[in-house]
Amino acid sequence: MFARSLFVVAAIAVAAVYVPGMASSYLAAGRTEGKANDAKTATVEPVSTARYTGNRGVTLEADAAGHFSGLFTINGRKQKGMIDTGASMVAINVSMAERLGIARKELEFRYAVNTANGQARAAYVRLDSVAIGTISVPDVGAMVLEDKALSGMLVGMTFLKGLSSYQVDGERMRLIR
């Protein structure tokens, strides 16, 4: 029994030493979809038709902290947002929801969500559209959090799943619809 426990502890120790280095190498090589508060503007450019057959894309440059941010159009209104591949949904705060025409009295804060700042209550809404540059995704699910729980907008997987692909290559994130 002791030998088995010792083996498990040794395996965990070896994994703890080697896995972070392998993951860093893998991410540095740009072979995975990466995680995306300073806003950089998005540059819109056509994506090579040889590679993406007629689709258009948007390229975001990483800020000094390595985050990918841009100016999004939500329900027809411009808002700064940060891409967060770890967020299940688009997340906005109450102030932004009100600017988008969603009345606070319409919000039902009945969902418990985990944020970087801890647990918070959230209300589910549907956004007519979320767009950046030439890319637009209609009917996007989003969570509205109190202003103290979220200072801006996180653009999560409910937007990213509406794209044909997204990829990180070093300091650039390409979104393709």
Average pLDDT over residues 50-71: 77
The answer to whether the CB of 122 falls within 8 A of the CB of 145 is yes
> What are the domain boundaries of the chain?
1-32, 43-176
The whole-number pLDDT of residue 117 equals 80
Which residue type does 3 have?
Answer: A
Predicted confidence (pLDDT) per residue in 131-147, tens digit: 999 999 999 999 999 99
User: What is 91-109 written as a DSSP string?
Assistant: EEEHHHHHHTT--GGG---
Residue 17, pLDDT above cutoff 90: no
The whole-number pLDDT of residue 124 equals 98
| pLDDT class of 14 with cuts at 50, 70, 90 | very low
Mean pLDDT, the chain, integer: 79
Average pLDDT over residues 116-127: 93
The proportion of the chain whose per-residue pLDDT surpasses 70, expressed as a percent, equals 69
| pLDDT class of 4 with cuts at 50, 70, 90 | low
* 80 Cβ contact partners less than 8 Å away, ≥ 6 residues apart: 39, 69, 70, 71, 72, 152, 153
The whole-number pLDDT of residue 116 equals 79
Token couple for 146: 């109190």
What CATH topology corresponds to 43-176?
Cathepsin D, subunit A; domain 1 (2.40.70)
The whole-number pLDDT of residue 118 equals 87
Predicted confidence (pLDDT) per residue in 22-41, tens digit: 444 444 444 344 444 444 44
